[in-house]
Amino acid sequence: MAPLTLEKNDDKISDKKSLMKFETIKVKLMFRRINMAIFTGAGVAIITPFHEDGSINYDQLKKLVDYHCENGTDSIVICGTTGESATMTEEEHLECIKRTIDFTAGRIPVIAGTGSNCTATAVELSREAVRAGADGLLVVTPYYNKATQKGLIEHYKAIAREADAPIIMYSVASRTGCNIEPSTVAALVKEVDNIVGVKEASGNISQVAKIMQLTQGDIDLYSGNDDQIVPILALGGKGVISVLSNIAPKETHEICAKFFAGDVAGSRELQLKAIPLINALFSEVNPIPVKKAVSLMGMEAGGLRMPLTEMEEANAKKLAQAMREFGIQLA
């Protein structure tokens, strides 16, 4: 890897508080040099609760953050796909990140989703999230306009230059139409110090294996699919960024914890037990089912922002049944 280069810029660091954040970031990146991941285990791709008028319900968001901190979740991932970031304004996006960092209060790491199909926007969101104190960044590939592999390299390098925090790339071609090829992942992780990992949601285990082979395992690999946690861990993964954790945080954590403790059979058993529930959680476009599931547990999730619509009644009944069979108590 290239040498770590962080410099104090008077335009960026103008007060004591900012200087302290700068020093914290330096420590985090130094940890990366000795192979410490942002987190291991199950990070929740947390939902964003809304009021009836569609505004963000920050009081309920705090309750959800507390719920996860108290029930085994290993990291909060805010403003991702499950958090409906695509329908947030930039102001809402950043406020949501800042509030989540404050609500978490250092109990577990907070990873901010800061991706965009516009590189300049992704740079700005990432820079501001770092200033707010995010422990890391989750950066999805550009979507709709997409990019070549060369474009992806330049996109991620531009963000990494401006955002002095560990970056996890997010590859989910089923949504973005843009796959990060294994050779591109390997090049970025090797060449850029603060690009440390990838959330792999391609569903292609052969591609994941190729990433681990090309990087010689020197990457923080996270499953982006709840039905592939154990296979990803078996290839050297650090954990999962999970939709399932929204409603089963202890169990999702345990899938990872048992594997890391050497209880592969126990980990596999939990993974397989969760498959029917995971399938129900993806019976419609995410996060439609998981927000319904959170509501069924008696926690306020609020509605969805258009163009997402409420879950079909037949699918909602199947989801409720899958939750009961998994052992989740409904309200």
Interior angle at CA 231, CA 226 and CA 233, nearest 5 = 90
- Secondary structure of 29-80 as H, E, C letters: HHHHHCCCCCCCEEEEECCCCECCCCCECHHHHHHHHHHHHHCCCCEEEECC
Which residues are identified as catalytic? 170, 199
Distance CA 132, CA 238 (A): 25
pLDDT at position 210 is 98
The two three-digit tokens of residue 124, written as one number: 């700005």
CB atoms within 10 A of CB 236: 17
pLDDT at position 257 is 98
**In this structure, which amino acid lies at residue 201?**
A
Q: What is the DSSP letter of 138?
A: E
pLDDT at position 36 is 82
pLDDT at position 17 is 55
Domains of the chain: 16-261 (3.20.20.70)
Tens digit of pLDDT at every position of the chain (331 positions) = 333 333 334 444 455 555 555 555 555 455 444 558 999 999 999 999 999 999 999 999 999 999 999 999 999 999 999 999 999 999 999 999 999 999 999 999 999 999 999 999 999 999 999 999 999 999 999 999 999 999 999 999 999 999 999 999 999 999 999 999 999 999 999 999 999 999 999 999 999 999 999 999 999 999 999 999 999 999 999 999 999 999 999 999 999 999 999 999 999 999 999 999 999 999 999 999 999 999 999 999 999 999 999 999 999 999 999 999 999 999 9
